[in-house]
Amino acid sequence: MNCQLSIINSELIERSSHAVICAHVNPDGDAIGSALALKHYIERKGGQATVIVPNIFPDFLKWLPGAETILIQTNQNHKEQIKAAIDGADLVIVCDLNQPNRLAGLEEAIMQSTAPRILIDHHLDPADFCMVTVSEPGMCATGEVICWLLSKEGELDDISLDEATCLYAAMMCDTGAFSFNSNRPVVFEYISRLLARGIDKDQIYRNVFYTASEARLRLQGYLLYVNMKVLHDRHTAIMTLTNEERRLFKVKNGDTEGLVNIPLTMLGLRLSVFINEDTEHPGTMKLSLRSVDDFPCDQMASRFFGGGGHKNASGGKLQCPMDEAVERVKSAIEFYADLLK
């Protein structure tokens, strides 16, 4: 960790009058929750903060306090606001990513900004592109990194309900409701302290996991019955979804979130791969990988799909038709056959 400054109470934050907080492309619960938690923190301290993301985020996160203020780079109606925010920023905080290219369409503007940059993240091998880097790969989520920083400075027990709600959602989303990568006592210490701030963890869980649309439920059945292929000798399942099928089921943003986890409930399965055609870039296949035990999803994603992530939860993408993507995934699975027997 390169942390020459005390991040939370640093002069960079204390002196900032307008910060920009940005997160990775295809932002998930940890990215959105962490970014909004920082926004609420800065504003409670008397500053202003704008959260900007490269593209749309799931509908099931839109209830988070402050989500309605997020600017989206691919939204043409937000272009002028985004430019004004970045041009006027005296601080940029980058959340939940380790490489600037994960900013996608925001990368050029953020990297050209003369404002000092702070990186707060929990992924491996962060690039050196910020003045201050806080990288803690051993932590379950960027939300946990922020809890740790707040606790270190004696701030965690004084945060607002909105901050606590966003931080809990961030950690919950990145651990599958604390079902993986969260087997450390300190995680639950932070949860206890967030509960003391008044969060309703049961309501947060329902808002994220129990708000499925009819389209989501019908799509789930279709994918499992028609589109899931099980490679029994490799203890692996592959599911696919094209944009044509998405239109057929009237799938909305967020309806596919978490579907990759479902095959892992099958007895004996070790790896699940979901190939999902990108709605904003047809012909690009987004891959989500989930595993159990010691299978290294991050290595597979990095070696074969130009991606990365965590040991049991990673992603990548391929520029090819769906049929070819399936064959390339099968080739990757064969490469790791010894680990999947």
Domain 214-340 CATH assignment equals 3.10.310.30: yes
Amino acid 258: pLDDT: 87
Q: What is the pLDDT of residue 6?
A: 61
Strand partners, 211: none
Q: What is the pLDDT of residue 211?
A: 85
Q: 237 - beta bridge partners?
A: 230, 272
Q: Which helix (H) or strand (E) holds 236?
A: strand 236-241
- State whether the Cα torsion 223-225-229-232 is positive or negative: positive
Give SS3 for 275. strand
pLDDT of residue 5: 46
- Beta-sheet pairing, 229-231 with 48-53: unpaired
**pLDDT on residue 2:** 46
Secondary structure of residue 121 in the 3-state scheme:
strand
What is the assigned CATH class of domain 11-209?
alpha beta
Q: Which helix (H) or strand (E) holds 335?
A: helix 322-335
Distances (CA, A) of 152 to 17, 39, 147, 183, 190: 24, 19, 8, 21, 12
Query: For the chain, which ranges sit under pLDDT 50?
Result: 1-5
Q: In the sheet where 313-319 sits, what is the strand order? A: 229-231, 236-241, 271-277, 284-291, 313-319, 308-309
Return the pLDDT at 124.
Answer: 86
The domain locations on the chain are 11-209, 214-340
